[in-house]
Homo-oligomer: A and B are copies of this chain.
Amino acid sequence: MADKDTNLRQFAGYNMKRAFNVVQHDVNTTLNEFGLRMVTWSALSVIRENSGLRQSRLADILSIERPNLVVLVDQLERSELISRDRDAEDRRAYCLNLTDAGEALYQKALVAMREHDKRMTSGLSDEERETLISMLRKIEINGDLEGNANGSLPTS
């Protein structure tokens, strides 16, 4: 009754896709009670780490297209988790910051997310977990060097 996908299991990418699917599921379940999704959580984290961040820079960091980020930032602002203030020096741009409510929600979600991460990597030692992350980063960089930085990709 085992899955008959032995050939595909030889490829790192196939195993990454399957592992990421279950991680994503667990992330969404974890964040659901806070009214967050993976991407809104990520945005909160990056805004918190870079106070006064511009939308276009946030889009760069998270590798999200600018038009798609607008909706996301709208959501966070309507939920009063972030503030969006005009930059005094460049009035085209907005400066993003967490509100107090945003900071409080972030801290609560952070606890849950750390538990989530432990669940997902259970069975791996701390050292193995670090090894995994460093190998994933190598792969990401290999991909970027191939020209996948942010360019267009065929979907058909």
Residues of A within 8 A of B (CB): 3-29, 32, 37-38, 42, 45-46, 48-50, 60-63, 113, 116-117, 119-124, 128-129, 131-133, 135-140, 142-144, 146, 148, 153-156
- Are the C-beta atoms of A8 and B46 separated by less than 8 Å? yes
- Are the C-beta atoms of B21 and A63 separated by less than 8 Å? yes
Extra contacts, 7 of them, besides A12-B133, A29-B154, A123-B138 (Cβ < 8 A), are A5-B42, A9-B137, A13-B120, A15-B137, A17-B20, A18-B136, A120-B143
* Alpha-carbon gap, A123 to B136, bound state (A): 11
**Complex interface: chain B residues within 8 A of A146 (CB):** 22, 26, 119
- Are the C-beta atoms of A23 and B117 separated by less than 8 Å? no
- Are the C-beta atoms of A19 and B154 separated by less than 8 Å? no
**Complex interface: chain B residues within 8 A of A18 (CB):** 63, 136, 140
- In the complex, which residue of chain B has the Cβ closest to the Cβ of A128? B135
| CB contact between A142 and one of B9, B123, B129 (< 8 Å): that residue | B123
**Complex interface: chain B residues within 8 A of A156 (CB):** 32, 37
* Minimum C-beta distance from A39 to chain B (A): 10
Given A29-B153, A120-B142, A124-B135, verify A12-B23 contact (CB < 8 Å).
yes
